[in-house]
Amino acid sequence: MILPETALITPAMALQSLLIIPGIAAILLLLIPSFRLGAWLNVLATALTFMMGLYLFFTPHFIAGLLFVDAFNVYLIALNTFVGMTTSIFSATYIAHELERGHLTPKHLRFYHAMYQALLFAMNLALSSNNIGLMWVGLEMATVTTVVMVGIYRTPEAVEAAWKYFILGSVGIALAFFGTILIYLVAQPVVGEGMAAMTWTRLVADSGNMDPKLLSLAFVFLLVGFGTKVGLAPLHAWLPDAHAEGPTPISAVLSGLLLNVALYAILRFKMILAGNPESLSPGPILMFMGLLSLLFAGFMLYQRKDIKRLFAYSSIEHMGIITFAFGMGGALANFAGLLHMTMHSLTKSAIFFAVGHVTQAKGTKDMDAIHGLSESHPALAWGLALGVIAIAGLPPFGIFASEFILVTTTFAREPLLAVILVVGLLVAFGALLLRLQELLFGEPDGTSRPLEASLMPLFVHLALILWAGLHLPENLGIWFARVADLLG
């Protein structure tokens, strides 16, 4: 569908406003002292950004200066701005109660909202830039803003988590920058000096003539660097702590969005390598890291006591599945990977919304102290149950569809790996359902408060993944198939 050209804004303006709106909002939020006003301004800004993202989704692709839109990034932009919006709605109703409990001060909240917009700015920059240097800047900024937010509660645990995340994240980002320099060096003799040698569209077009050895070396640095940010085992050490100790809306954004953006960076570089048959083939490495993450996280799920940590490990597991799918490549596996990326993003942020409600209602993150939610908070229990059933991969939700496609195509091509994949999926499935049953049933114990934050974002996400699982819209299917071809 193509919108008429007479619209008020041009596509290029919409693309730039993906950066301008969060940028201005971040500054305004830093200046506005009232946190209530700040929270709703945050929602307004994310809603506007989402409208721009949606508009871009229906326009033809184009390049505008250092930014560009193509089939691959536009779908992630739309997804990112959407989850950014729903999370800000959740956050607006959730975060005020953190203030009441004395976890945060109004000054912290001001800072929190400004950083939230800065994070969206950074992620939009990483997604929409047509330049490997700018993309790196985006991911670097995203790291810095999330580090600050993870440490915002200032408890010893939060400081420790933030420090660990910061050290590992900056080493990762530094290695990725070295990889970026190597890509420039390998492209420079082919494309010429200056900006051109850092431009995605040029790099992908000319990758066939590049020096394969140096290209492979660059990819190794990029994979280790950005792989740290994706949270792939064995580079995942920061991820569970950062998810567990930060505010819950940030856990939702970290799992749902930032991991995807880092994976997007790796996949872009994989596209460069795909155009150069003599270079190292990234598939087997990605498949290995993917399966390792899946198995490792699957077994780790059994020993978790902290509810947020549990779902953080589940994120490692799912990023493993997605990486495995893209590592295998081919139309079907790539399709499954893209679908899984979307579904995981929507489902996991929904689960973190539910977890946020649970921790506020029960006043603890310790799963041993949370029982009988189905009696004390029935609506929330339904939401959590549906979310966990979805993330465990049961029909009729969207994740079942993507896992089903992935498992069948793996059985057709690599039966041995398919066995490992299925074992990993089942291990994680068992752990999640076991935990869910403990949370929902039994005698309600401990403190129990009524729900204060809005349940709406949770159920909107659940409705979307249910819809995608029952009947994937035809347009979206065609779209995914096109991107899958692009990835090779």
Binding site residues, other proteins, CB under 8 A: 131, 133-134, 136-137, 140-141, 144, 147-148, 151, 154-157, 159-160, 162-163, 166-167, 170-171, 174-175, 177-178, 180-182, 184-185, 188-189, 193-195, 197-198, 211, 213-214, 217, 364-366
* Largest Cα span, the chain: 70
> How far apart are alpha carbons 149 and 156 in whole angstroms?
14
Minimum distance from CB of 125 to other proteins (Å)?
11
Residue closer to other proteins (CB basis): 158 or 425: 158
Q: Minimum CB separation from other proteins for residue 152, in Å? A: 10
Q: Is 129 strand, coil or helix?
A: strand
Q: Which is nearer to other proteins, 174 or 463 (CB)?
A: 174
Rounded to 10 degrees, the C-alpha dihedral 23/11/54/333 comes to -100
CB of residue 408 to other proteins, shortest distance in Å: 40
CB within 8 Å of 156: residues ≥ 6 apart: none
| Rounded CA separation 370/444 (Å) | 7
Rg (CA), the chain: 21
**Of 180 and 402, CB closest to other proteins:** 180
Among residues 182 and 259, whose Cβ is nearest to other proteins?
182
Cis peptide before 189 (omega within 30 of 0): no
SS (H, E, C) 173-242: HHHHHHHHHHHHHHHHHHHCCCHHHHEHHHHHHHHHHCCHHHHHHHHHHHHHHHHHHHCCCCCCCHHHHH
| Token representation of residue 198 | 């850092």
Q: Cα separations (Å) of 467 from 80, 124, 170, 334, 471? A: 19, 26, 39, 21, 6
**Closest approach of Cβ 478 to other proteins, in Å?**
36
From the CB of 228, what's the least distance to other proteins, in Å? 12
- Min CB(18)–other proteins separation in Å: 19
Q: Which residue has the tokens 């790539």?
A: 334
Considering the complex, what minimum distance in angstroms separates the CB of residue 439 from other proteins? 17
In terms of C-beta distances under 8 Å and separation of at least 24 residues, what long-range contacts does 440-445 make, across chains too? 440/372, 440/373, 440/374, 440/381, 440/384, 440/385, 441/371, 441/372, 441/374, 442/371, 442/372, 443/371, 443/372, 444/371, 444/372, 444/373, 444/375, 444/376, 445/369, 445/371, 445/372
C-beta closer to other proteins: residue 160 or 485: 160
Indicate the residue among 22 and 151 with the shorter CB distance to other proteins.
Answer: 151
Min dist CB 171 to other proteins, Å, is: 6
Minimum CB distance to other proteins smaller for 133 or for 444 = 133
Minimum gap (Å) between residue 73 Cβ and other proteins: 19
In the complex with other proteins, the residue whose CB is nearer, 178 or 467, is 178
Strands 62-64 and 67-69: antiparallel
Share in percent of the chain as helix, strand, coil (round to 5): 80, 0, 20
Least distance from other proteins to the Cβ atom of residue 436, Å: 22
For other proteins, the closer CB: 122 or 230: 122
Nearer to other proteins, 52 or 224 (CB): 224
